[in-house]
Structure 1
Amino acid sequence: MSLALYGHPFSAYTQKVLIALYENGTSFEFRCLGPDFPQHSAEWQRRWPVRKFPLLVDGERNIAESSIIIEYLQLAHPGPVRLLPADPTAALDVRFLDRFFDLHVMRPGQRAVDGALTGDPVRRAEGLAFATKKLEIAYAWLEKQLAGRTWAAGEEFTLADCAASPSLFYADWICRIPETFSVLRAYRARLLARPSFARAVEEARPFRPLFPLGAPERD
């Protein structure tokens, strides 16, 4: 059985894994989840009752959580792009940055999205306020951290950049990266120009009306 990935093109964590797959030209079947694709839901729920995506299926093995999936791909289906360095200390730095983007950029943004999805104006405002406060802190840290670097951890594209791509993509829709943060804005632009992420962005474009805060007319 070939690799299969359950997820949705507009999902940030699905995009994170898609970037890793596209970077290495890994062959896989994409099984889209959603009301328009009921044929995939039952098998996905059977394999992962937690009902979170993405989920990678390799034969009878089910691998959940985006970071773990990418690490698994490097172990079981390696390609020309090594997304985790061989050096343990360098790999630890990459894992830290991966966690930073997931926990301190993506998660606050998700809080704003969740607030908007309730349809309650108060909860929408609260979510946006929380996200803005947290993202401003994250942006300031990243502006210093990324100085002199091409990619998140240095000159090589890694797991950290797979996480950064959708994190910063959506975060900037929620709380615009200030013009004064030229390093961070340039990094986001490089991510958008990376073929693997550019492909994921294009595949998700038809779903932009789903963004509950309103997708901007850019990117």
Structure 2
Amino acid sequence: MTLKLYAHPFSSYCQKVLIALYENETPFEYLTLDDAKNGAALEALWPIRKFPVLVDEGRTILEASIIIEHLGLHHPGPVRLIPADPHEALDVRLMDRFFDNYVMAPMQKIVTDRIRPEQDRDPHGVTEARTMLDKAYGWLDRTLAGREWADGTAFSLADCAAAPSLFYADWAHPISAELFRVRDYRQKLLARPSFARAVDEARPYRPYFPLGAPDRD
């Protein structure tokens, strides 16, 4: 049975999973949520309607990181995104959580606040989100010293998380020019064929970005 992925090309968490699929050229059926019938099918599978959602042999797999772990266990390819060594795997998972919790989450706070009616906006929360991003960028810049990828020399789950996180975060709250390691790492991720493909698939949706999508990417 073909893997079925319910996703939207412009979603950061969907791009995270798409990178993993494209890295290993894993065959799958892409059920985009532009199609109303796919949205209804997603709701039947997962009433909370958060995506991406993967269906594999009738089993529903939720949450981007878990989907990537599932792919590594049940549909492995030449690019191993979770190290075999359990100690190294913990380090990769730590970086994965860093990007989701301290880059993706505050970025989404800024974006979501802009979508709200002006009377319902949360300027204090947005200020806190921007402060968190500055702290995260600074920590990451120091951590990347001597590293080729997020957790060392091998492309991993952590980089799948990093790519859309830093891509959109820099749109919402630009990375300072002095943080050259983070900026260089972001460009390296954009040059990775798997992420470049995901970015290109999402280009038609850029006008919908609430803060305005820059032309530089």
Normalising by structure 2, what TM-score?
0.97
Do structure 1's residue 147 and structure 2's residue 145 form an aligned pair? yes
In the superposition, relative to structure 1, how do residues 201 and 116 fare at CA in structure 2: closer, same or farther (>3 Å)? same
User: 1-side partners of 2:205 and 2:37: how far apart?
Assistant: 20
Q: Give the letter aligned to residue 94 of structure 2.
A: F
Contact 1:56 1:63 (C-alpha < 8 Å) held by counterparts: yes
Aligned to 1:110, which of 108, 114, 118? 108
* C-alpha distance in structure 2 between counterparts of 1:47 and 1:139, whole Å: 36
Unaligned runs of 5+ in 1: none
Verify the 8 A CA contact 1:115 1:126 in the aligned structure 2.
Answer: no
Q: Is the 8 A contact 1:98 1:163 kept in 2?
A: yes
Give the percent of matched residue pairs that are identical in Structure 1 and Structure 2: 59
Q: Provide the alpha-carbon RMSD of the alignment.
A: 1.2
Aligned to 1:19: 19
The question of whether the paired residues in 2 share the 8 Å contact of 1:113 and 1:127 is answered with: no
Alignment of 1:148-163 (within 5 A): 148-163=146-161
- Cα deviation for residue 213 of structure 1 reads 1.0
Q: Displacement, 1:126?
A: 4.0
Q: How does 1:1-219 map to 2 (within 5 A)?
A: 1-34=1-34, 37-120=35-118, 123=121, 125-219=123-217
CA apart distance, 1:8: 0.3
What's the CA shift for 1:122? 6.9
Query: How many correspondences in the alignment?
Result: 217
**Aligned-partner SS, 1:6:** strand
Give how far 1:124 is off: 6.2
Alpha-carbon distance between aligned partners in 1 of 2:128 and 2:16, rounded to the nearest angstrom: 24
Task: Give the Å deviation of 1:121.
Answer: 6.6
Shift of 1:83: 0.0
Is there any run of 5+ residues in structure 2 with no aligned partner, and where?
A: none
- Counterparts of 1:21 and 1:124 in 2: how far apart (Å)? 37
Q: Distance in 2 between matches of 1:133 and 1:91?
A: 29
Please report the TM-score for the alignment, with normalisation by the length of structure 1. Answer: 0.96
Per the TM alignment, residue 119 of structure 1 is displaced from its structure 2 partner at its CA by 3.0
